[in-house]
Amino acid sequence: MLPDLLLEPIVRAALVEDLSPMGDATTKAVIPAGKTYSARLNAREDGVVSGMQVAAMAFRLVDPGLRIAVLVGDGKPCKKGETLMTIDGSAASILMGERVALNFAGRLSGIATKTAGFVEKTRGTKARITCTRKTTPGLRVLEKAAVTHGGGFNHRYGLSDAILIKDNHVAAAGGIRQVLEAAKAARSHMMRIELEVDTLRQMEEALKIGGADVILLDNMDTSELRAAVALNAGRVVLEASGNMTLERIAEVAATGVDYISSGALTHSARTLDLGLDF
């Protein structure tokens, strides 16, 4: 679980967006004061769960008096019809928190489910599935957590945690030697350097110069990836990226690369169908 301190501002902002400026007009109009109810957050399809922590937080921020029990935690598989959470207490409070809780839980469970599908394709290989920075603005901490709930791994969180030299950096700086030498001179002992290459020739040059801890093999076909693994001979970590679809993951993993990164885990995940039933 992530510290609530990190998550509360995100959840609070979503509730403010939904309840501003005058609260829930429908609930005020039709739900009698003091009415209590027991609600169930149910899965309407199979998947992998994520977002229970933030869904529970949404309900508690609306009403700390609600009694919430998480029955299927983040990172666990779920089946269609299974109850993931129960919420007991004020019916009005439950209804006010419902949509925000479901928006978070459905979105994050969709990412976890998609990631789990990618991970399953790597069984029997050393390849690890990792996400990218292609996340929903403001929700990165949640979406990256959802990737781990699906069995994947996180790439760098943002621009400050690692030096990732892409082709536009190389072009602007004047070449691979220039960027690697500059990066080696600038980094601290705790900072890793990753270099993106588009061709085997670039990779060979990078290996001769040295300094990269990771080489990102961008948009290479499967035969090029195999050749890159052979050329590398275990010297640096290899990451395959670009056009990494579910249908292709197994053959990429079989090439021997260490990591496979995919922006689709977050930017193209379908929301898992969840519902709140009274």
Task: Please give the positions annotated as active site.
Answer: 99, 134, 166, 196, 218
Q: Using CA atoms, how far apart are residues 147 and 69, in angstroms rounded to an integer?
A: 23
Joined together, the tokens standing for residue 170 give: 């190389």
Sequence-ordered list of residues with C-beta below 8 angstroms from that of 98, at least 6 positions apart, any chain: 39, 276
Which pairs with CB-CB distance under 8 Å and at least 24 residues apart come from 116-124?
A: 116/48, 116/77, 116/150, 116/151, 117/246, 118/150, 118/152, 118/244, 118/246, 118/249, 118/260, 118/262, 118/265, 119/150, 119/151, 119/152, 121/246, 121/249, 121/250, 121/253, 122/249, 122/250, 122/253, 122/260
Joined together, the tokens standing for residue 149 give: 């709930």
